[in-house]
């Protein structure tokens, strides 16, 4: 999604929210919480419920920035923009980076298998301005549905396709209010 498309989408969503808000302004649950904020069920007061996912614009910004750190092999920034728990899933099921679950990111090489993936980094360099956009948490892309439990409440899944000469990747990036919480990846074999 380009910046212009993103701006138009955000404006359209904002307009839609305005109109829907007019129609149901008496519904207190329609008040949007801040990204990453913990909401409380006012009706039952049963304690904290799921945090709200970040809004689309800030989620896309976070994902693009995270991909940039990955492209530049900038482990420090990559870790700063990531948050635990963190998952890495690969559709192939092969390799050291195919099925990783991290409960903390304290070690400097926590995301080493991602950061050191030279093929992925090469394709990222071929895609300096990746087009990242929204997915539905309820209807994930077909190959990621087995990992639906990883898309915890409060995370917003975003999709991006990276086409390269030697390889291509489909990525689903899980973004929360406090950073990226995971990535699903698939090495694609696109025609031409």
Contacts with another protein by CB under 8 A lie at 1-2, 5, 8-9, 12-13, 16, 56, 91, 131, 133-136, 138-143, 158-161, 163, 170-172, 186, 188-192
CB of 102 to another protein, least distance (A): 23
Residue matched to tokens 């304690």: 47
Nearer to another protein by Cβ, of 74 and 91: the residue is 91
The CA distance from 123 to 120, in Å, is 5
Min dist. Cβ of residue 174 to another protein (A): 13
Shortest distance in whole angstroms from residue 164 CB to another protein: 11
Nearest alpha carbon to residue 121 among 86, 73, 159: 73
Question: How far is the C-alpha of 74 from the C-alpha of 174, rounded, in Å?
Answer: 19
Residue with tokens 């989408």: 9
157 vs 176, which CB is nearer to another protein?
157
Contact 174, 151 (CB under 8 A): yes
71 vs 185, which CB is nearer to another protein? 185
């Amino acid at each position: 999604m380009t910046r212009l498309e993103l701006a138009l989408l955000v404006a359209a969503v904002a307009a839609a929210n305005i109109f829907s808000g007019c129609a149901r302004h008496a519904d207190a649950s329609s008040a949007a919480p801040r990204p990453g904020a913990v909401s409380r069920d006012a009706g039952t007061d049963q304690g904290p419920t799921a945090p709200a996912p970040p809004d689309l614009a800030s989620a896309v910004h976070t994902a693009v920035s995270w991909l940039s750190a990955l492209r530049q092999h900038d482990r420090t920034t990559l870790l700063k923009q990531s948050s635990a728990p963190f998952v890495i899933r690969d559709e192939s099921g092969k390799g050291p980076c195919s099925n990783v679950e991290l409960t903390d990111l304290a070690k400097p090489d926590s995301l080493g298998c991602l950061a050191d993936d030279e093929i992925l980094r090469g394709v990222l360099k071929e895609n300096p301005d990746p087009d990242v956009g929204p997915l539905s948490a309820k209807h994930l892309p077909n190959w990621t549905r087995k990992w639906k439990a990883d898309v915890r409440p409060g995370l917003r899944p975003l999709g991006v396709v990276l086409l390269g000469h030697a390889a291509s990747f489909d990525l689903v990036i899980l973004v929360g209010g406090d950073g990226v919480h995971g990535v699903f990846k698939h090495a694609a074999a696109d025609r031409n």
